[in-house]
Structure 1
Amino acid sequence: MGFRYVINMVAVFVLIRGIYYNTYHRKDLFLTFFSFNTIIFFVTYLLNKVEMTTGAAFGLFAVFSILRYRTEGISAKDMTYVFLCIAIGLLTAVSNGSWLDELLICALIIILTYLLESSKWVKKESSKTVYYDNIQLVHESNKEKLLQDLILRTGLTIHRIEIVDIDFLKDSSKIIVFYFEK
């Protein structure tokens, strides 16, 4: 069990500290990532010692998956990392293969996550919410002028916009601007 847990923790450390933190520069969810992983690992490891069907194991995973619908304050990307931590904990706890198989599976998860998070394959699109005060440019016929004004004001290379709300009483609008990270 100790060796499996070391493989588990090294994989999660590389995933969270090496990829997640370097990409998003957030430390506030470290406790969540590591504690979920550790709890899942030990619960699954102990339940694996008891006779359990595959359906029961998936049911356990489903119970933890329901947490996604109870956590409105966490983004989809952060929740994806929680799921990755849960999956690594499950895989390392119940694997019937050798330690080399566990290392290979963890390495594949980490490499795939790294490739998907890097901008080598796909450009990263980011968005920001902007409260805009020039209500005349929000009109559909002025869309190009609006885009140019937003680019000038924000300094971002905006490629598309989404008008979320228009408030004629305050002469303002809420706009989401989308741009590619460099």
Structure 2
Amino acid sequence: MTAGLVMDLASIVALAYGLYYRRHHRRDLLFAYVALNVGIFAVVSLLLVQRVDVAVGFGLFGVLSIIRLRSSEITQQEIAYYFIAIVLGLVNGIAGAWPLTALLLDAVLLAVMYVADHPSLLGRTRHQVITLDVVHSDPDLLRVDLESRLRAHVLHCVVTQIDYVRDTTVVDVRFVTPAQRAGVR
């Protein structure tokens, strides 16, 4: 269990501090990732040491699965970090009999997150939800308006809400700025 704890703490520090925080700078989620990981590790370790009915184990994970992240909106990227934090806790909590396998899995998970979330991989495309003070009936005019306001090339836009009373439009936009198109960061 000690080896598993050391590997778990090293892996969550690498994920939360080494990857996530250095790239995304959200302290609140940094704390959440570490707390969730260590909590999962503790529960799995306890379930392995103390013989417990399988129903109790499923019940505990059922409780974990219904916890919703209601305090603030998080992105799909941040959900991926949550998932990896959970998996690292599970892998290292079970690691007692196979520490080398767990170490290898930790390295693979961290390497995948490093590459998959690397800014140079897909960092050129930006995403934003924008509220416009106008309603466009023509999609081409909407695109021109967005490109003018953002000073960027719009790749994709979806109108998510129109309010004819307040004359507003909410649009989910994917775009690339001129500097990003040229490869300058």
Which TM-score bucket, shorter chain as reference?
A: 0.7 to 0.9
- The DSSP-based 3-state class of the residue aligned with 2:173 is strand
Question: What corresponds to 1:18 in structure 2?
Answer: 18
Question: What corresponds to 1:115 in structure 2?
Answer: 115
2-structure distance, mates of 1:120, 1:78: 18
2-structure distance, mates of 1:167, 1:86: 40
Shift of 1:55: 6.9
- CA deviation profile, 1:95-140 (whole Å, cap 9, x unmatched): 25432211101011111222222356656754212221343xx113
1-structure distance, mates of 2:43, 2:164: 56
- The DSSP-based 3-state class of the residue aligned with 2:127 is strand
Question: What corresponds to 1:163 in structure 2?
Answer: 159
Asked whether the equivalents of residues 166 and 173 of structure 1 are also in contact (C-alpha less than 8 Å), the reply is yes
Structure 2: state its 5+ residue gaps.
181-185
Asked whether the equivalents of residues 123 and 180 of structure 1 are also in contact (C-alpha less than 8 Å), the reply is no
> Percent same amino acid among aligned pairs?
24
Q: 1:57 to 1:15 in 2, by over 3 A?
A: same
Tell me the TM-score normalised to structure 2 length: 0.79
One-letter amino acid of the counterpart of residue 48, structure 2? N
1-structure distance, mates of 2:86, 2:170: 37
Q: 1:97 to 1:122 in 2, by over 3 A?
A: farther
Question: How many residues get paired?
Answer: 176
Structure 1 segment 1-182 matched on structure 2, within 5 A:
1-52=1-52, 57=57, 59-67=59-67, 70-72=68-70, 73-75=72-74, 76-118=76-118, 125-135=125-135, 138-140=136-138, 143-180=139-176, 182=180
Q: CA RMSD in A?
A: 2.6
- The DSSP-based 3-state class of the residue aligned with 1:29 is helix
1-structure distance, mates of 2:53, 2:116: 33
2-structure distance, mates of 1:3, 1:96: 7
Tell me the TM-score normalised to structure 1 length: 0.80
2-structure distance, mates of 1:15, 1:88: 9
One-letter amino acid of the counterpart of residue 71, structure 1? L
1-structure distance, mates of 2:26, 2:87: 21
Structure 1: state its 5+ residue gaps.
none
